[in-house]
Chains A and B, each alone.
Chain A
Amino acid sequence: MDKNMKILVVDDFSTMRRIVKNLLRELEFTNLDEADDGQTAWPKLKAGGYDFLVTDWNMPGMTGIELLKTVRANPETANMPVLMVTAEQKREQIIEAAQAGVNGYIIKPFTAATLKEKIDKIFARNAG
């Protein structure tokens, strides 16, 4: 796994962005950027240079699931690994995210170990 890969963290709560970024730094990822909802995230992703997207679901403007669908619908970003970190825990929503092509799904509140495990799994699968 390339620790220099560029990661975009999307969440409407700045505290949660800080937490996720802190944990990612703890996992030795240093190339981090953030956005506060899908609407601000998408132009960044579209402009290119990002290797991994970590997004919340429930955000004003453009939600995480819409962002995921947009990412998958565009050839330039279609293959980008996407990890959803969200408080939404309805079965139908998890299934919707899976069908939309999410690579991992973490429910809040979560632990550092869970985040590490999911990221390891995503990139182990992508490498293999």
Chain B
Amino acid sequence: MQDENERLELLAKAKQLVAHIETNDAEATGELLCSMTIDRERSLFKEVGQLTRQLHDNLSSFALDDQLIDLTGKEIPDAKERLNYVIEMTDDAAHKTLNAIDEIVPVTAEMNRKCEELSVKWKRFLGRELSLDEFKAMSGEISSFLDSSCANTKIVSDKTNEIVLAQGYQDLTGQIIRKVISLVQNVENNLVELVRISGSQADETAMQNETKKGVLEGPVVPGVVVEGTVNSQDEVDDLLSSLGF
């Protein structure tokens, strides 16, 4: 209806313009042309305004999208926690390993030194170069070496075991990093969507909407709250025993 009015108004103005030109009224012609240009500009502004409003609404609704809120409000901060935990775990594992080696090295070095010392004496004994007193002294040394060897090899074996256990970080960090990778993928998809909404000619990439159900949470990360998780082996044991285990 408004368009029709605008059309009639324009038509009236055009007829008047023709009349002005026919009567050779330059002043009136100029004035009318000017007012028509202003009208034209006004409707252009209106259109630009409408487009801007539409874009703004689209962007607002995009920002309110649950997934995006989840992403910016929770998942990205969580990812930071997760990655920090990866650093912590790898750091911890490296230190545990190095500490264990620090304890192994002096023990094996001492055993090696004592071995070489006794080996020289033993060869002299085999060559019948040892006096009775020297032989008695060597016997004592061999006895104490055997005793200390038992204790030392136990230390080495225990420490080696600690080193093996410390490698467990690789599994846990691997799982955490995989989760962060899938988050990054998700962020990428959302950015593509943003570009699409903002009117660019970007290719539309189908958003992958993963269902939350059935997704395995993986390792619990300090600072990342996941509802309904246990915090220790003791809690697992308690839960199982409450189920009759």
User: Which A residues contact B (CB, under 8 angstroms)?
Assistant: 11, 13, 15-16, 18-19, 22-23, 26, 57-58, 63, 87-95, 98, 105-112, 114
Contacts and interface: CB of A to CB of B under 8 A. Distances in A.
Given A22-B161, A26-B161, A57-B216, A89 B168 contact: no
A104 to B, nearest CB: 8
B230 A94 contact: yes
B240 A94 contact: yes
Interface of B: 161, 164-165, 167-172, 174-175, 216-220, 226, 228-233, 236, 239-240, 243, 245
A88 B216 contact: yes
12 contacts: A11-B171, A13-B174, A15-B170, A22-B161, A87-B219, A87-B220, A89-B220, A90-B229, A94-B240, A107-B230, A109-B169, A114-B233
Given A15-B167, A18-B164, A107-B230, 15 more contacts: A16-B170, A23-B164, A23-B165, A58-B218, A63-B216, A87-B171, A87-B175, A87-B218, A89-B229, A90-B229, A91-B239, A94-B230, A95-B243, A105-B236, A110-B233
Contact of B229 (A91, A95, A98): A91
A110 B219 CA distance: 12
Contacts of A16: 168, 170-171
A11 B170 CA distance: 12
Contacts of B175: 58, 87
Contact of B239 (A11, A94, A106): A94
A18 B167 CA distance: 9
A97 B203 CA distance: 44
A61 B220 CA distance: 23
Nearest to B175: A87
B171 A15 contact: yes
Given A19-B165, A19-B168, A22-B161, A106 B233 contact: yes
Contacts of A98: 240, 243, 245
Contact of A19 (B167, B232, B245): B167
B244 to A, nearest CB: 8
Contacts of B168: 15-16, 19, 108-109
Q: Which of B230, B231, B233: most chain A Cβ within 10 A?
A: B233
A109 B89 CA distance: 11
A88 B167 CA distance: 19
A95 B236 CA distance: 10
A47 to B, nearest CB: 27
A108 B230 contact: no
Given A15-B168, A98-B243, A90 B174 contact: no
Given A19-B164, A26-B161, A87 B172 contact: yes
B237 to A, nearest CB: 8
Contacts of A93: 216
Nearest to A57: B216
Top 7 closest A-B pairs, CB basis?
A13-B171, A87-B219, A16-B171, A15-B170, A58-B216, A22-B164, A91-B228
Given A57-B216, A98-B243, A107-B230, A89 B172 contact: no
Given A58-B218, A107-B230, A112-B161, A89 B171 contact: no
Contacts of B216: 57-58, 63, 88, 93
Contacts of B171: 11, 13, 15-16, 87, 108
Nearest to B165: A19
